[in-house]
A and B are shown apart, each in its own frame.
Chain A
Amino acid sequence: MFLKQILAGDRGGQTLLALLAVITVLVPILNLAVPEGSPLHLSTYTLTLTGKYLTYALLAVAVDLVWGYLGILSLGHAAFFALGGYAMGMYLMRQIGDRGVYGNPDLPDFMVFLDWQELPWFWYGFDQFWFAALMVMLVPGLVAFAFGWFAFRSRVTGVYLSIITQALTYALMLAFFRNEMGFGGNNGLTDFKEILGFNLQADTTRVALFVASAVALGLGYVACRAIVTSRLGRVSLAIRDAEARTRFIGYRVEHVKLAIFTFSAVLAGIAGALYVPQVGIINPGEFSPLNSIELVIWVAVGGRATLYGAVVGAILVNYAKTTFTGIMPEAWLFALGGLFVVVTLFLPRGVTGLLRRKEASA
Chain B
Amino acid sequence: MNLFQDTLSMPREVMRRDRVFDFMIPADNPRLDISHNTILYLEDVSVSFDGFKAINDLNLYIDAGELRCIIGPNGAGKTTMMDIITGKTRPDTGTVYFGQRIDLLTLSEPEIANQGIGRKFQKPTVFENQSVLCNLELSMAGDKRVWPTFTARLSGEQRDRIGEVLESIGLTTERDLRAGALSHGQKQWLEIGMLLMQNPKLLLVDEPVAGMTHQEMDRTAELLRSLAGERSVVVVEHDMDFVRSIANRVTVLHQGSVLAEGSMEQVQNDPRVVEVYLGGDAC
Residue ranges of A at the interface with B (Cβ–Cβ < 8 Å)? 227, 230-232, 234-235, 237-238, 241-242, 244-253, 255-256, 259
Contacts and interface: CB of A to CB of B under 8 A. Distances in A.
B138 A247 contact: no
A232 B145 CA distance: 9
A247 B110 contact: yes
8 contacts: A231-B137, A231-B138, A234-B137, A248-B113, A249-B113, A249-B118, A249-B138, A259-B146
A75 to B, nearest CB: 24
B151 interface: yes
A234 B150 contact: no
Pick the most buried of B109, B114, B151, B152: most chain A CB atoms within 10 A of its CB.
Answer: B109
B149 A249 contact: no
A259 B145 CA distance: 11
B198 interface: yes
B139 interface: yes
Contact of A230 (B129, B150, B198): B150
A278 B88 CA distance: 51
B121 A251 contact: no
Contacts of A253: 110
B146 A256 contact: yes
A8 to B, nearest CB: 14
Pick the most buried of A245, A248, A256: most chain B CB atoms within 10 A of its CB.
Answer: A248
A235 B138 contact: yes
Contacts of A235: 138, 149
B177 to A, nearest CB: 16
Contact of A232 (B110, B125, B146): B146
B130 A251 contact: no
Contacts of A245: 121, 125-127
B128 interface: yes
Contact of A249 (B88, B128, B134, B139): B139
Given A231-B149, A234-B138, A249-B198, A241 B127 contact: yes
Interface string B131-147: 00010011101001110
A255 B144 CA distance: 10
B238 interface: no
Nearest to B135: A238
A245 B124 CA distance: 10
A69 to B, nearest CB: 11
B232 interface: no
Given A237-B127, A238-B138, A242-B125, A230 B113 contact: no
Contacts of B151: 230
A294 to B, nearest CB: 27
A250 B146 contact: no
A249 B118 CA distance: 7
Nearest to B117: A248
A248 B119 contact: yes
B86 interface: yes
Given A230-B150, A231-B138, A242-B125, 7 more contacts: A231-B150, A231-B152, A232-B150, A242-B127, A248-B119, A252-B145, A255-B145
A342 to B, nearest CB: 25
B194 interface: yes
A252 B150 contact: no
Given A232-B150, A238-B130, A247 B145 contact: no
Contacts of A251: 110, 144, 149
B269 to A, nearest CB: 37
B150 A247 contact: no
A-B residue pairs, 9 tightest by C-beta: A250-B113, A247-B109, A232-B150, A250-B114, A231-B152, A232-B149, A249-B139, A259-B146, A245-B125
Nearest to A253: B110
A289 B127 CA distance: 33
Contacts of A246: 138
Nearest to B113: A250
A2 B119 CA distance: 37
A247 B109 CA distance: 6
Nearest to A259: B146
Pick the most buried of A231, A238, A256: most chain B CB atoms within 10 A of its CB.
Answer: A231
Interface in B63-117: 86, 88, 108-110, 113-114
B129 A241 contact: yes
A234 B134 contact: yes
A244 B119 CA distance: 12
Pick the most buried of A237, A244, A247: most chain B CB atoms within 10 A of its CB.
Answer: A247
A255 B198 CA distance: 20
Given A242-B127, A250-B110, A230 B139 contact: no
Nearest to B150: A232
A237 B139 contact: no
A278 B265 CA distance: 81
Contact of B128 (A231, A234, A241): A241
B141 to A, nearest CB: 8
Given A248-B86, A250-B144, A259-B146, A234 B113 contact: no
Contacts of B141: 250
Contacts of B146: 232, 252, 255-256, 259
Nearest to A236: B149
Nearest to B125: A245
B91 to A, nearest CB: 18
B25 to A, nearest CB: 21
